[in-house]
Amino acid sequence: MDLDDLTKIAFSIIKDDDPYKESKQLQMRNWGRGYLETINTGNISFFLDILSDKECWEKTDTIHGIKLNRRLVAKKVIEPQSWKGTSNLLKDFYLYQIACWCCLEEEIISLFEHFKQEDKIKEGDSDALKKLVKSVSGNWCTDAMMQFWSHFISGYISELDLKGQHPYVFGLHRAAISSRRRRVEAVEFFWDKVQSLPESELSSQEKDEVFMRIAVHAAGDSGYPDVFEFCLSQINPDKYSELLKRDLEKNGYYGSLGRMKDMLSFDKFQELFDCLKSSEVSEDDYSLWLKFMIKDCPEDYLGSGVEVFMHMWKKEGFDNHRTFTLDEEMMEDSSFQGKFSVHLVEKGFMKPVWAMLDKANSRQIKEFMDSKKDHISSILLGKGDSNSLNKFLGYGKFVDKGIDQEIRPGPSGELTEVEVRRTHSQSR
């Protein structure tokens, strides 16, 4: 069963009228990445029971409105039965695997002791204990976290190459970088442990540097955006500029904004964007980020996406970026023509449409109207929105050859105030 199959089945438990449908789908998709080895057609009912348990979903005051308590889910996944009475068919090895992935310390110790009893390992039998450690951390389907925990709780952590690091720092790197299934629960666990270390063992400055390196790596890891989301939540906003600089240097692009986009964390995306100067953002990136906020944004989040779009559009110093975006949106030779405007009109968000038309020059407006006027007019007619239709058509009326008109609506919202200036070339 691959992620797509798992995702479709998991989504089936969410009702169409669930107000948190989009948010639950997003979180289930991220959650599922870490359980592919353990979920199959034989035990899918057990997992679905857990995901449908109201106890596992917490109300929040974030844009998502709800959050999957992943640590509680992990605890329930290794219980013998679900809340509906469905038996857990996972073998002990996989229960131990999940406990290690999510750093469930008590459960790890309990399961390891169970393995020792099964193998009848006597106290002081170091050879038998090392053999057990190897068997639960050296298998082809084991994980870096299983290797860490098996050595840690058995007392053989020094046999791993810690590279001079404290075991908790080593564990944090394992959780965020080395593990094939990077779980945000494990990153949270080890960061809490690292923070608890006394200053004599690891200074505050060293802790900050450790975590900054983890965050920069997570920014470039598109498979696990929730790990970066947690990292960002632990970094002081005063350090965002440094994070972005190091992100670009290591990853070759601003992965930080990409991960916040993936998580639909619009407020943090905007905070990060505001740390960048126009000279630090390519025109392509600016246009692509705007495109996501409008065209690729899930419908339930579109209102928030529009707010970020408007914020980015009005940002001072980005005149060249706006011109580039307008050429892509309005010029006849662009394969992206109308991608913003048509979608916005269809969804009833006219404010960004007016904002783009206000910044467009006569050449851009003319080519846009020649190609998209009839289509957009028909959409507005179908909606019965005569005010928007008249305002939209009004932009075309002020287009005159050789004149570049910056159109400004009057106090009533009608296009009565027009500022006319000489046309200036707005090449890319």
| pLDDT for res 31 | 86
| b/e burial code for range 11-46 (CB count within 10 A of at least 16 → b) | eeebeeeeebebbbbbbbebbbbbbeebbeeebbeb
| pLDDT for res 102 | 94
Cα(58)–Cα(423) distance, rounded to whole angstroms?
A: 56
Distances (CA, A) of 361 to 242, 263, 278, 367, 400: 37, 35, 21, 10, 10
| pLDDT for res 140 | 58
Who has greater pLDDT, 139 or 90? Answer: 90
Backbone angles phi, psi at 400, to 5 degrees: -135, 140
Amino acid at 394: G
Q: DSSP E strands: which ranges in 184-287?
A: none
Q: What is the pLDDT of residues 254-287, one digit of tens each?
A: 999 999 999 999 999 999 999 999 999 999 999 9
State in Å, rounded, how far the first CA of the chain is from the last one. Answer: 47
C-alpha torsion angle, residues 15, 21, 24, 26 (rounded to 10) = 130
Q: What is the pLDDT of residues 353-410, one digit of tens each?
A: 999 999 999 999 999 999 999 999 999 999 999 999 999 999 988 765 444 444 445 4
| pLDDT for res 8 | 86
DSSP SS3 for 66: strand
Place 416 in a pLDDT band, splitting at 50, 70 and 90. Answer: very low
Mean pLDDT of 167-194: 91
> What is the percent of the chain where pLDDT is above 90?
77
Cα(182)–Cα(203) distance, rounded to whole angstroms?
A: 26
Domain boundaries, the chain: 162-274
Write out the two tokens for 160.
Answer: 């791993």
The total number of residues shown for the chain amounts to: 428
| b/e burial code for range 316-332 (CB count within 10 A of at least 16 → b) | eebeebbbbbbbbbbbe
Say whether pLDDT at 352 is over 80. Answer: yes
| pLDDT for res 99 | 95
Question: Would you put residue 67 in left (φ > 0), alpha (ψ -120 to 50) or beta?
Answer: beta
Place 138 in a pLDDT band, splitting at 50, 70 and 90. Answer: low
Cα(273)–Cα(281) distance, rounded to whole angstroms?
A: 9
Cα(375)–Cα(33) distance, rounded to whole angstroms?
A: 41
